[in-house]
Structure 1
Amino acid sequence: MKFLGSLVLATALTLPAATAFADETEKAEPPVPETLGFVEWVVMNDTGIRLKARLDTGAKTSSLHAVNVEEFTRDSEDWVKFQLPLGDHEDQPSEGEIEHEDVIIEFERPVYRKVLIKRKGAPSQRRYVVKMEFCIAGTKHETQFSLTDRGNFSYPVLLGRRFMRDDNILIDSAESFIAQRECEFNTLEQIAKQAD
């Protein structure tokens, strides 16, 4: 009789531990990957600029269209300032009051690192890398962007493998603009007012 009571008590004491272990196991499961097309819209968080982005598994680091890139020092740290001319890629929705060529956005960011890019058939190029927040498929992210002039490319933003790995993204290379959710963005006129 006493033995049975002890057995019941021992079982009751072990149940919470088993439940806790089950909860930890469930939390450890990775999130379900999100599938996006090889081209999607991104919105740069601090400005509301909407840009076309190519998701490229051939690139490790993401890159962002930038011109007039200049390094400077702030509080003994390396910073970089650069411009994003909206006339180079006329993707920003407009109410027709302002031309894309009239809007140039200026950014200042701490230098995260510098990279030397080896290019086939061209001299190597040193690029600044900054961290920037953006929204894609209704979700905010932060990743490293190398700054380079992408004015001659179809897409001002290229998202590389580091972003895809860190944020659990899969790519459907046969589709574009398949994101189920959208990000809020500003019109060209709203962006021009912010820049003033």
Structure 2
Amino acid sequence: MRFLTTVLLMLSLAATSAMAEEKTGNGDRVPETLGFVEWVVMKDTRLRLKARLDTGAKTSSLHAVNVEEFTRNEERWVSFEIPLGDHEDQPAEGEFKHDDVVIVLERPVRRTVLIKRKGAPSQRRYVVDLEFCIAGTMHTTQFSLTDRGKFSYPVLLGRRFMRDDNILVDSSDGFIASKECEYSTLEEVAAEEEARVAR
């Protein structure tokens, strides 16, 4: 009887494993559940920002100001600034003020999008590819660049990111990621930005 029970248990586990593999696409990783708000860390700058995972938006967006197009090697590029004073998410250890630090980035233009806004004229935005870390894992997705200074979250992660990276959202809770990403302090970010500009 005990042998029969063991065999049935093993068959049940094998069937469950096969069903799980079938649901995730022949061995693809199981969907990861994140909260409706999580920390993200932008690659290269190690800048930590709050991100809202928004299933109502297709394309992700990043807070950026002074967005300017230019040409490099006959390709369209944009330069843009991320002022840390608009969202004081970077941990500070000294007497540095967030208002004193502005990150300047340059990226190739992936495309432009026309955003329809209720009660306001439509707005054309540049879209760029950016790498970032969330829940201890690096990702790349498309971000539209727009001034989010009046919003609570400088980063919005949309459905394209969730679909491509197999992410589910727990709308009842935030900051539930089991792993963290390494980030720099405000002072380290400022020093790295100063060194980068000087190069």
Superposed, 1:176-191 pairs within 5 Å as 176-191=174-189
> Equivalent of 2:33, from 26, 32, 35?
35
> Which of these two proteins has the greater Rg computed from alpha carbons?
1
Q: CA deviation at 1:195?
A: 1.2
Pairing 1:69–2:31 present:
no
Partner of 1:138: 136
The C-alpha deviation readout for 1:8-58, integer Å capped at 9, x for no partner, is xxxxxxxxxxxxxxxxx8982331000000000000011000000000000
Q: Alpha-carbon deviation of 1:60? A: 0.1
**Which position in structure 1 is the counterpart of 2:15?**
none
Give the C-alpha shift of residue 120 in structure 1. Answer: 1.1
CA RMSD, Structure 1 to Structure 2 (Å): 1.5
The equivalent of 1:4 in structure 2 is none
Between 1:55-64 and 1:113-122, the stretch displaced more is 113-122
Of 168, 171, 180, the residue aligned with 1:170 is 168
How many equivalent pairs are there?
173
Structure 1 residue runs of 5 or longer lacking an equivalent are 1-24
**Equivalences for 1:94-105 in 2 at 5 Å?**
94-105=92-103
Structure 1 residues 3-82: aligned runs within 5 Å: 28-82=26-80
1:129 aligns to what? 127
With normalisation by structure 1, the TM-score equals: 0.86
Give, in angstroms, the shift of residue 121 of structure 1.
Answer: 1.1
Aligned to 2:105: 107
Identity %: 74
What secondary structure, in the 3-state scheme, does the structure 1 residue paired with 2:182 have?
coil
- Tell me the SS of whatever aligns to 1:164: helix
The SS at the match of 1:114 is strand
Runs of 4 or more consecutive aligned structure 1 residues displaced over 3 Å after TM superposition: none
Query: Match for residue 155 of structure 2?
Result: 157
What amino acid sits opposite 1:103 in the alignment?
A: V
Mark the runs of 5 or more structure 2 residues left unpaired by the alignment. 1-21, 195-199
Counterparts of 2:94 and 2:52 in 1: how far apart (Å)?
27
Deviations 1:93-147 (CA, angstroms, capped at 9, x unpaired): 0002210000000000000001100111110000000000000000000000000
Query: TM-score normalized by structure 2?
Result: 0.85
